[in-house]
Amino acid sequence: MSVDEHEITLVATDGYRIQPVPVESFIINPGERYDFEMEASKEVNNYWFRFKTLEIGVDHIAEAIIRYKGASNEEP
């Protein structure tokens, strides 16, 4: 899981608080849960929020757009 041009801070795993860890991306295994924080303080624009499987031979990708108020309606 990653967000283009944004740092993510992991704050909990499987419902338990952890020492905050700043990361560019992180891996989630089946059944795991992570809580994270992200500061939305970048340039007003659109940014990809990406999920990609690491499974060999499979290329599952899920994407969403984080759209800052005032940004265009175009894809990043």
Tell me the per-residue pLDDT of 10-38, one tens digit each, with 9 for 90 and over.
Answer: 999 999 999 999 999 998 888 899 999 99
Q: At 37, give phi and psi (nearest 5°).
A: -120, 150
Q: What is the pLDDT of residue 46?
A: 95
Provide the pLDDT for residue 41.
86
Categorize the per-residue pLDDT at 53 as very low, low, confident or very high, splitting at 50, 70 and 90.
confident
Question: For residue 15, what is the DSSP state?
Answer: T
Residue whose pair of structure tokens reads 């990043």 in the numeric block: 76
Residue located via tokens 């005032």 = 70
Beta bridge partners of 22: 9
- Residues 41 and 37: their CA atoms lie apart, in Å, by 12
